[in-house]
């Protein structure tokens, strides 16, 4: 056999060996990539699932039905909606009549800050029904919960006509949740979206179609 023939055989042998090695590497890389992709998918599924709102989270934002049949005139009850206290105040005729008498003492008597109540509650009583106020019981200063001081006078003094007092920093609100001038709170209390399902059943968290 000539030297040229030997050289050709060696070259062919080396070429076959390299091809075999390259193919093995290629197969290894494909298998590794597939396993890696499966691993990423296994990690991603629990992460995506964790982003789905839990049933408790859904319930926290759900509308709340409240039976208001037992609220006596001149008193209030507290419900909970989205983790916040919501006051339902049954104002007497005397209380509702008083609302128009102290506009000059209020920072926003006409409820011009529209973010604080739905359009259908942009009225003197900030309510759908004249006697029933529905107000989120969180002070607009630093988030404390004011105390109900519904009756005239008392420990609030002779000039007090009824409303709410925040013990944290002294903010005062009337029976429509409107803030008095000089209070640390800059704006009125929030009126949440709500509607009446019947005479005695209130739904908090859903807007009504009624207009103010």
Q: What is the CATH number of the domain that holds 180?
A: 2.102.10.10
Residues 199 and 123 reside in one and the same domain = yes
- Whether 45 and 109 share a structural domain: no
Count the alpha carbons within 13 Å of 161 in the hemisphere toward its beta carbon.
21
Chain segment 93-119, per-residue pLDDT in tens: 999 999 999 999 999 999 999 999 999
Check whether residue 83 and residue 17 sit in a common domain: no
If asked whether residues 68 and 39 sit together in one domain, one would say: no
User: In the predicted model, is pLDDT for residue 51 greater than 70?
Assistant: no
pTM > 0.85: yes or no? no
Last residue of some domain: 13, 31, 52?
A: 52
Q: What is the pLDDT of residues 119-129, one digit of tens each?
A: 999 999 999 99
- 103 domain-assigned: yes
Residue 47 has pLDDT above 50, yes or no: no
CA atoms within 13 A on the CB side of 198: 7
Host domain of residue 44: 3-52
Give residue-wise pLDDT tens across range 196-206: 999 999 999 99
pLDDT at position 139 is 97
Query: Does position 164 have pLDDT exceeding 70, yes or no?
Result: yes
Q: Is 148 helix (H, G, I), strand (E, B) or coil?
A: strand
Q: Which residue, 121, 131, 105, 124, is CA-closest to 190?
A: 121
Predicted local distance difference test score (pLDDT) of residue 157: 84
């Amino acid at each position: 056999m000539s030297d040229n023939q030997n050289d050709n055989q060696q070259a062919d042998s080396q070429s076959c060996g390299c091809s075999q090695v390259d193919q093995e590497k290629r197969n290894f890389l494909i298998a590794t990539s597939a396993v890696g992709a499966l691993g990423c998918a296994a990690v991603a599924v629990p992460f995506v699932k964790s982003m789905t709102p839990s049933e408790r989270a859904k319930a926290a934002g759900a509308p709340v039905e409240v039976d208001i049949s037992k609220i006596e005139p001149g008193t209030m009850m507290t419900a909970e909606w989205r983790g916040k206290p919501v006051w339902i105040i049954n104002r007497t005729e005397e209380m509702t009549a008083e609302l128009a008498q102290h506009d000059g003492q209020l920072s926003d008597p006409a409820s011009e800050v529209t973010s604080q109540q739905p359009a259908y509650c942009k009225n003197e009583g900030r309510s759908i029904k004249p006697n029933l106020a529905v107000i989120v019981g969180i002070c607009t200063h630093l988030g404390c919960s004011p105390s109900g001081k519904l009756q005239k006078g008392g420990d609030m003094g002779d000039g007090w006509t009824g409303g709410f007092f925040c013990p944290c920093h002294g903010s005062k609100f009337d029976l429509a949740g409107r803030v008095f001038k000089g209070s640390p709170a800059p704006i009125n209390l929030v009126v949440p979206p709500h509607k009446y399902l019947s005479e005695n059943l209130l739904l908090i968290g859903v807007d009504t179609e009624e207009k103010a």
